[in-house]
Structure 1
Amino acid sequence: MCYDVKTSLEAQLKRAKRSQDLKAIEEIVEKLGPLTDLPLHHASGFSHPEVLIYTNEDPFYPMVATWGLIPHWVNSVEQQKKIWNSTLNARVETIFDKPSFRDAANEKRCIFYVDGFYEHHHFNNNTFPFFIHRKNNEPLALAALWSKWIHPEHGGIINSFSIVTTKGNGMMAKIHNNPKLKEPRMPLMLSEDVEEQWLSQNTEFEQELTALLNRENDVELQAHNVGKLRGKTYAGNVASIADEVKYPELEFNEFKF
């Protein structure tokens, strides 16, 4: 799964900079930046941070959205609070079947750029966090779904999103070994050449998704252990949270990436 990320305004400007519209970039920094919780050296989805996403409605100008998709059909704040924590991730295998994600999968796909993400490895009844990022240190483009919800009490619009996950492979198959899950998971990472396909307005996208998932992904990852992300020793949202930490318990060859 993907519940912990690191992201910065610089990473989230990655796509906007492709348009080379300096005025638009300046506007994003000045107007949208202050509305977010950036920078997030470490953030849990359960805190529902405000970040930037790029949607299929405007692929190069982001919008502010909160992590945890709120389906448009939610009709009360009570219902919204109940569903929020269960929509941080959306399994790609079922996004066209689940009521929470079906409409968004067909009509509202987006991209969430991060510097990297964190996952926990289980070993000897303990958990050891890893930070995963691109080998070239460029931002990761995570496939996501979004929704526009109208607050029933004050009529304000809340944009929200869910990170799409897929079966973990390669390095992630080793790291993400949660015994409560049937298989390892990881966020669906998009190489630059398939970002446009994910953001396409094609209403028959379900048919294209299988081909997209079967394409060879050229996103190369790198990982290292970091300090605890939960409990009394958690350092919080500070830059050093992503620094490498050595755990003697994990001195075995399978993590020599």
Structure 2
Amino acid sequence: MCGRFTLSATPEDVRALLEYIEQPNFPSRYNIAPTQPVATVRQEHGGRHFALVRWGLVPPWVKDPASFSLLINARSETAVEKPSFRGAMRHHRCLVPASGFYEWRQTPDGKQPYFISPADGGVMVMAGIWDTWSDPSGGDIDTGAVLTTEANQMVGRIHHRMPVILMQEDFDAWLDTGNVMARHARALLRPAPEGYLKSVPVSRRVNSVANDEASLLEQADTDQELEPAQKTGRAKRTKSSGKKASDDQMDLF
């Protein structure tokens, strides 16, 4: 699964890779969490466009988002068929740039967070979906989720699931909802190649969304050796509290 990630690359580096039309300026983020705005790229009107969405998909048919569980992840194996995701898989696929993501491994001393990022230090791009929810008064909000898949061997030592990471040659096909049907796009949703990612244990300070600084990525001391992680049940949905988030939590920029 993917429940926290970072985007510390410069706006110029992100735009150079994803080639969207806009030129947004944004600061480094080191602990992006559910309900916060996340950067996405979508294909519209003949070009790629940068857009912010709230992390936690709310399908258009939901009557009350406050009582609906946040869908931060969508299982790639079943997203085409699931009512919550199939519309977005057909019509609203997007790219989610990141510098890395966090995953937690169960240890005798509790859950140890790891930061997992491209081995070359570059920008990685997760497969995402988005949709628009409209309230009765006419207001709209775009929300999104990250696709997940079975972990590759490296990530599997920490957790049995991982976000789908798209290679650059697959960006066009994933975004092309007009010509690439959802069932064909699903073939792009596979574990990252071995050797593409690296992992380091980091401070449990990342557990608090209030912490969002570069020091979260500093390697932590741990004697735990990485063996294949045990599978657990399905990833939990995040329950929406219905409370208004703080200004800091909702401000990507």
Q: TM-score, normalised by structure 1?
A: 0.78
CA contact (8 A) 1:116 1:134 kept: yes
- CA distance 1:216–1:134, shift in 2 (3 Å): closer
Aligned length: 226
CA contact (8 A) 2:164 2:191 kept: no
Match 1:174 to one of 134, 157, 163: 157
Match 2:166 to one of 163, 172, 190: 190
List gaps (5 residues or longer) in structure 2.
229-253
CA contact (8 A) 1:67 1:162 kept: yes
Q: Which residue of the partner structure matches residue 179 of structure 1?
A: none
CA contact (8 A) 1:11 1:114 kept: no
Q: Which residue of the partner structure matches residue 183 of structure 2?
A: 207
Could you give the per-residue CA deviations for residues 37-82 of structure 1, whole angstroms, max 9, x where no partner exists?
x53211222xx1112211132653201111001111122xxx2123
Verify: 1:7 aligned to 2:2, yes or no: no
Verify: 1:159 aligned to 2:153, yes or no: no
Return the alpha-carbon distance in structure 1 between the equivalents of residues 136 and 185 of structure 2: 34
Match 1:247 to one of 222, 229, 252: 222
Match 1:114 to one of 78, 83, 98: 98
- CA distance 1:8–1:61, shift in 2 (3 Å): farther
- CA distance 1:204–1:43, shift in 2 (3 Å): closer
Larger RCO (alpha carbons 8 Å, 6+ apart): 2
Q: Which residue of the partner structure matches residue 72 of structure 1?
A: 60
1:163 maps to amino acid: V
Verify: 1:42 aligned to 2:28, yes or no: no
Give the secondary structure class of the aligned counterpart of 2:60. coil
Once superposed, what is the RMSD of the aligned Cα atoms?
2.7
Could you give the per-residue CA deviations for residues 94-135 of structure 1, whole angstroms, max 9, x where no partner exists?
111211111001110001101100000112262110000001
Q: TM-score, normalised by structure 2?
A: 0.79
Verify: 1:63 aligned to 2:51, yes or no: yes
Q: Which residue of the partner structure matches residue 181 of structure 1?
A: none
Q: Which residue of the partner structure matches residue 105 of structure 1?
A: 89
- CA distance 1:51–1:18, shift in 2 (3 Å): closer
Decide which structure has greater helix share.
1
Give the secondary structure class of the aligned counterpart of 1:54. strand
Return the alpha-carbon distance in structure 1 between the equivalents of residues 69 and 16 of structure 2: 28
Give the secondary structure class of the aligned counterpart of 1:207. helix
CA contact (8 A) 1:120 1:127 kept: yes
Return the alpha-carbon distance in structure 1 between the equivalents of residues 40 and 76 of structure 2: 18
CA contact (8 A) 2:41 2:48 kept: yes
Return the alpha-carbon distance in structure 1 between the equivalents of residues 51 and 189 of structure 2: 26
Return the alpha-carbon distance in structure 1 between the equivalents of residues 195 and 98 of structure 2: 13
Return the alpha-carbon distance in structure 2 between the equivalents of residues 121 and 5 of structure 1: 16
1:209 maps to amino acid: A
2:139 maps to amino acid: G
Q: Identity, % of aligned pairs? A: 27
CA contact (8 A) 1:191 1:217 kept: no
Give the secondary structure class of the aligned counterpart of 1:64. strand
Q: Which residue of the partner structure matches residue 236 of structure 1?
A: 211
